[in-house]
Amino acid sequence: MAAPLAALTGESLGWGGHVALRDVTLRIDPGERVVLLGRSGAGKSTLLAAFHDRITERTALVPQDHGLIGTLSVFHNVWMGVLDDHGTARNLRTLVWPRKAERARVEAVLQAVGLTGLGQRPVAQLSGGQRQRVALGRALLRQGAVVLGDEPVTALDPAQGGALLDHIAGVFPTVVLALHDMGQALRIASRIVGLRDGRIVIDAPTADLSESDLLTLYR
């Protein structure tokens, strides 16, 4: 069996002295598509953060708050996904005068997320759904062994969100997402982890689960 990308064994997770999840034993293996489900506040973001801290492979992140800089253009916010691939001088030059090849790389990603032609627009002028697409574009430009997404398509309609989830699953070898849509979870995931009352109460292959099984997380 291949080594896991991340593993937790009997751990308590939280922040600032607050424990959000107790006795967490969970591993993420290469090639999995894992979806975390549970009520708001169930600990999905906490679990994603724990994985982010432990995964040593190249990781792309789509945080719930998007992590964008409103005064910068869409191009520059997407380019932030690869800032750590380049030195300070290159990044400063790209901030002022991006090269044609750099613009082309970003434009290809913007086309994939439905933002064609908006590269020069300040992020502050975008709608919530467009900002979410920028965050997805940044992750797609970065690429990597795994993507971690915290409610990455909540601002999009189901068809648009589903198409982007499919695209993400086609780009990244391993996918770990916190979602709120059970239908999307059952469709996209190979494995579902359900959280309730500060604990993992479901951890099973998607093929073994139904929507009625997942409804127990919200009762």
Domain ranges of the chain: 1-58+144-219, 68-142
pLDDT tier at 1, thresholds 50, 70, 90: low
Distance of CA 179 to the CA centre of its chain: 10
pLDDT tier at 2, thresholds 50, 70, 90: confident
Distance of CA 86 to the CA centre of its chain: 23
Q: What is the pLDDT of residue 186?
A: 96
Asked whether the predicted pLDDT for residue 85 surpasses 80, the reply is yes
- φ, ψ of residue 99 in degrees (nearest 5): -80, 160
Q: What is the share, in percent, of the chain residues with pLDDT greater than 90?
A: 94
Give the closest residue to 190 by CA, choosing from 45, 24, 6, 29.
Answer: 29
> Does domain 1-58+144-219 fall into CATH 3.40.50.300?
yes
Alpha helices in the chain (DSSP H): 44-54, 74-79, 88-96, 100-112, 128-142, 158-171, 182-188, 211-215
Q: What is the pLDDT of residue 47?
A: 96
Q: What is the pLDDT of residue 138?
A: 98
**Mean pLDDT on 20-49:** 96
**Mean pLDDT on 208-212:** 95
Q: What is the share, in percent, of the chain residues with pLDDT greater than 70?
A: 100
Asked whether the predicted pLDDT for residue 16 surpasses 90, the reply is no
CA distances from 148 to 49, 54, 66 (A): 9, 12, 12
pLDDT tier at 208, thresholds 50, 70, 90: very high
**Mean pLDDT on 190-208:** 97
What is the pTM (predicted TM-score) of this model?
0.94
* Dihedral angle sign, alpha carbons of residues 56, 22, 44, 179: positive
Q: What is the pLDDT of residue 218?
A: 92
Asked whether the predicted pLDDT for residue 207 surpasses 70, the reply is yes
**Mean pLDDT on 20-26:** 95
- Across all residues in the chain, what is the average pLDDT? 95
Q: What is the pLDDT of residue 219?
A: 86
